[in-house]
């Protein structure tokens, strides 16, 4: 039996999302710590000083409820914090405040390519600090320093059921989740800044024998591509063990970017290893229906809903539309350009080709992009002022300089030449200058027609109306 059909991966994800609150989870320190100097946003509460008491942020609950509702979860009116005990140098208290027994939300789902991936739970917790090693890694470092700025930053942990059937599906799940996070304003989802991190659990079922391997966890991946690559590697590694009749160790592994492999970190912990018990300094939190309904009213349109609306309203292709709705700002810009131009398909074409090409070549933040740029360049093309090829150059210059397309056309004298007499004069000159090519064309080599078009365009510095050039050359060469 083919390997891919015989061995089926079973994947579940645990995703930590930094909530976009102004303050940390249990104190008034700023939670926006990414660019701060180490240990400049800390206090006795988030650094676990004796006698300091945590006070939960209601903003953290507001964002957590919004996330739960967007992921179709049941919001628990009663939730409670617990202490997860373990030692690590960046965890000054020696425990993490988290929701283990009574999470904020449960039993949701997210649809991925027509498949419903169930959300087991969403719970709130605090982040730990960060170790900074004086070397490439901890084993080669002469010493390590601790930055506690992240201590107490509020997180939502999203735990899925093991419903994901391939590494690619895991990546798509992550991409869709980040899109939702940004739409509802719950988190930046910026993986490079640690605002979204993924632990992935994978086991493999041998469908021939019914045997399922032990579960392996790959920790702390901060890119969609790493999640997919690490799971692909683990799938192959586990299958190799199964084919050799070897046991797969239940363990936690890390993704090594330089070797493109996973490496063993430790045996997998069980819940009882953390000696969970109720957090004695924070009373249970009880939410009422009014609070939840008020938040529900603020969620607005989600990416999947927008995708369906774009397909139905603008007649766009479903596959292409995701690129227009995945990022809320892109979707908003597209809709504004459509509203002003009345050209949904033409605007979509400019987004999917020219805009995304420029985003790939230049720093997005340095480009001058506005709905009016699309409208002007499309109108200049439609009224025959410039050709489509010229429009692409004008569009690029507009985004790079901030000048509007009309201004660029005026300054550079790019207005398209549509003077029939002039174009015919040039076309006759080109034909007279290339008698051999004319003879070959008339002998049946139709492909040479483009050569004549190119020569005329060259003589007129690319400004001739291509439609007029084609019509005139057709008349002269075929008569």
Q: Give tens-digit pLDDT for 129-171.
A: 998 888 777 777 888 899 999 999 999 999 999 999 999 999 9
Residue 394 lies in a domain: yes
Whether the per-residue pLDDT at 128 is higher than 80: the answer is yes
Task: Enumerate residues 6+ apart whose C-beta is below 8 A from 180.
Answer: 70, 71, 110, 302, 303
Tokens of 250: 């239940």
Asked if 408 and 424 sit in the same domain, the reply is no
382 CA to centre of own chain? 34
Residue 295 lies in a domain: no
Residue with tokens 């398909």: 345
**In the chain, how many domains are there?**
3
Whether the per-residue pLDDT at 343 is higher than 80: the answer is yes
Residue 268 pLDDT = 64
Read off the pTM. 0.85
Whether the per-residue pLDDT at 419 is higher than 90: the answer is no
Range of the domain at 454: 420-478
> Cα(65)–Cα(146) distance, rounded to whole angstroms?
32
Residue 294 lies in a domain: no
More confident residue, 384 or 155: 155
Domain boundary residue, one of 389, 412, 435: 412
The number of C-alpha atoms within 13 Å of 270 and in the hemisphere containing its C-beta is 2
Which residues are paired to 88 by β-bridges?
A: none
Q: Is 390 exposed, middle or buried (0-12, 13-18, 19+ CB in 10 A)?
A: buried
Whether the per-residue pLDDT at 227 is higher than 70: the answer is yes
Asked if 124 and 263 sit in the same domain, the reply is yes
CA–CA distances in Å: residue 11 to residues 116, 162, 163, 233, 247: 14, 5, 6, 13, 19
In the three-class reduction of DSSP (H, G, I as helix; E, B as strand; rest coil), residue 205 is classed as strand
21 in Cβ contact with 243 (< 8 Å):
no
Tokens of 263: 């490496």
131 CA to centre of own chain? 27
Kindly report the backbone phi and psi dihedral angles of residue 208, in degrees, each rounded to the nearest multiple of 5, phi listed first.
-75, -40
Whether the per-residue pLDDT at 281 is higher than 70: the answer is yes
In the three-class reduction of DSSP (H, G, I as helix; E, B as strand; rest coil), residue 66 is classed as helix
Domain boundary residue, one of 412, 437, 452: 412
């Amino acid at each position: 039996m083919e390997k891919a059909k015989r061995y089926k991966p079973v994947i579940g994800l645990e995703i930590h999302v930094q909530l976009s609150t102004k303050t940390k989870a249990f104190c008034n320190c700023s939670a926006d710590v990414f660019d701060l100097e180490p240990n400049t946003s800390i206090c006795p509460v988030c650094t676990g000083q004796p006698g300091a008491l945590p006070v939960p942020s209601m903003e953290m609950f507001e964002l957590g409820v919004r996330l739960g509702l967007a992921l179709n979860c049941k919001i628990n009116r009663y939730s409670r914090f617990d202490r997860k005990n373990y030692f690590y140098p960046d965890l000054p208290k020696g425990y993490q405040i988290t929701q283990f027994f009574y999470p904020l939300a449960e039993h949701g789902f997210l649809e991925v390519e027509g498949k419903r991936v169930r959300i087991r739970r969403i719970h709130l917790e605090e982040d730990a600090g960060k170790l900074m090693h004086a070397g490439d890694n901890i084993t080669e470092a002469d010493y390590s320093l601790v930055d506690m700025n992240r201590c107490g930053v509020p997180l939502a942990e999203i735990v899925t059921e093991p419903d994901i059937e391939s590494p690619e599906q895991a990546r798509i799940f992550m991409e869709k989740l980040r899109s939702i996070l940004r739409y509802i304003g719950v988190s930046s989802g910026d993986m490079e800044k640690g605002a979204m991190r993924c632990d992935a659990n994978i086991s493999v079922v041998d469908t021939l024998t019914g045997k399922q391997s032990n579960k392996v966890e790959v920790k702390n991946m901060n890119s969609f591509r790493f999640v997919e690559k690490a799971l692909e590697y683990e799938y192959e590694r586990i299958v190799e063990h199964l084919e050799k009749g070897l046991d797969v160790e239940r363990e936690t592994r890390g993704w090594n970017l330089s070797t493109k492999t996973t490496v063993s970190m430790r045996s997998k912990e069980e819940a009882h290893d953390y000696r969970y018990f109720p957090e004695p300094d924070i009373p249970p939190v009880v939410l009422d229906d009014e609070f939840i309904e008020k938040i529900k009213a603020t969620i607005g349109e989600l990416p999947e809903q927008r995708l369906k609306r774009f397909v139905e309203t603008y007649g766009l292709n479903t596959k292409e539309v995701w690129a227009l709705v995945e990022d809320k700002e892109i979707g908003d810009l597209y809709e504004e350009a459509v509203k002003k131009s009345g050209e949904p398909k033409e605007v979509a074409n400019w987004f999917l080709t020219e805009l995304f090409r420029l985003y790939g070549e230049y720093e997005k933040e340095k480009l001058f992009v506005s709905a009016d740029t699309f409208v002007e360049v499309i109108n200049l093309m439609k009224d025959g002022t410039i050709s489509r090829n010229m429009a692409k150059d004008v569009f690029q210059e507009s985004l790079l300089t901030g000048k509007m397309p009309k201004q660029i056309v005026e300054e550079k004298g790019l207005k398209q030449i549509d003077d029939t007499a002039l174009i015919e004069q040039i076309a006759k000159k080109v034909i007279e200058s290339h008698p051999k090519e004319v003879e070959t064309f008339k002998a049946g080599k139709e492909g040479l027609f483009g050569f004549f078009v190119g020569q005329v365009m060259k003589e007129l510095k690319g400004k001739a109306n291509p439609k007029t050039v084609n019509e005139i050359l057709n008349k002269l060469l075929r008569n």
